[in-house]
Amino acid sequence: MSLLPASVQSINIGQQLEFSLKIANGKNVAGYQATVQFDDTALRYVESSNSDYLPDGAFFVPPILEENFVKLNAASLAGESNGDGTLATLTFEVIAVKASILRLSDVLLSNSTGETFAPQIENAEITEPTKLTGDVNGDGTVNIADLVLVASNLGQTGSNAADVNTDGVVNIADLVLVAGALGTSASAPSLHLQALETLTATEVKQWLSAAQRLNLRGIYSQRGILFLQQLLVVLTPKETVLLPNFPNPFNPETWIPYHLAKGADVTLHIYAMNGALVRTLTLGHQAAGKYQNRSRAAYWDGKNDVGEPVASGAYFYTLKAGEFTATRKMLIRK
């Protein structure tokens, strides 16, 4: 008897693994018992179900679960089975990504006269997953979060997951390798959306300059530089523009997004319908880029310059960035 698959890589925490309790070359089998031991720091037993190897009408004893093992037991009063087949299936939830063993013990087969015999047994193993190049945070996928993690560790020495090329220091070469892995992804549009949430054109431009100075020639490095160049295009708008605020209508707060085609001193003025200045938001000098999500867009809390909540109604907001000026309308509804 054996557990199959005999070897399988661990998957992400929360996902489930299924194993089959198999029998090969069975002769006159009317019942079985087996204990399956598992590492309860790696797996959580979910359920087991009996299969159709035993004859119709077989009696299945409910599984007995202890901390790190489960006991299975079934018997038929209507005949015997022969040959190969599946006795049961077991399902486990991964609670830690690590190597472990599923062991069979106390395994007995019985015939219709009640005679028992112990078959040869084969255990199953769960191995640690092969780590993807560039999967710095170990979540099973390479994405913008890995790029950000390398960037936040630049200059660090010693053992570090962000040291992708394992040369003892986290540097721009590691960042380019992660970008190279991203460059092979089929999910480029979603990666670009992630980038808009977390990266700036200035950061990417600095990374590109540093990478080009290193004269990196490996295929992954070249692919990484190309991906960073594409990312820079995505992050750098072609024109400065003021976008609609969100939410709109709003109560009491809203975000005002905009794009800057080049760096500029940025100021937002908010006016009442009669033209009276309500609030000035001085945002300072900002680099070229897309300021369009909540973490980067201008924020207005619905108050005037002295901290008083404004009344319901329509307001205008004007963006000044260098020589650029644009105005839009918004509505606060209480």
The DSSP secondary structure of 55-112, one letter per residue, reads PTT-EEEEEEE-SSEEEEEEE-SS--EEEEEEEEEEEEEESS---EEEEEEEEEEE-T
The reported pLDDT for the residue numbered 130 is 78
Percent of the chain whose pLDDT exceeds 70 = 97
The reported pLDDT for the residue numbered 220 is 82
Mean pLDDT of 136-158: 89
The reported pLDDT for the residue numbered 184 is 62
Name the pLDDT band for 185 (thresholds 50, 70, 90).
low
- Over the stretch 254-309, which tens digit does the pLDDT of each residue have? 999 999 999 999 999 999 999 999 999 999 999 999 999 998 999 999 999 999 99
The pairing of strands 124-127 and 7-9 is parallel
Mean pLDDT of 228-249: 94
The reported pLDDT for the residue numbered 217 is 82
> Considering the chain, what is the average pLDDT of its residues?
92
- Over the stretch 40-50, which tens digit does the pLDDT of each residue have? 999 999 999 98
Q: Which of 94-108, 186-200, 270-284, 296-310 is predicted with the least confidence, judged by mean pLDDT?
A: 186-200
The reported pLDDT for the residue numbered 139 is 78
Mean pLDDT of 123-152: 88
The reported pLDDT for the residue numbered 183 is 66
Mean pLDDT of 3-22: 94
pLDDT at 244 over 80: yes
Domains of the chain: 2-127 (2.60.40.680), 144-235 (no CATH), 241-332 (2.60.40.4070)
Mean pLDDT of 6-10: 94
Name the pLDDT band for 73 (thresholds 50, 70, 90).
very high
The reported pLDDT for the residue numbered 168 is 95
Beta strands in the chain (DSSP E): 2-4, 7-9, 16-29, 31-37, 43-50, 59-65, 69-75, 81-94, 100-110, 116-117, 124-127, 241-242, 254-256, 258-260, 264-272, 277-286, 289-291, 298-300, 313-321, 324-332
Which pTM does this prediction carry? 0.58
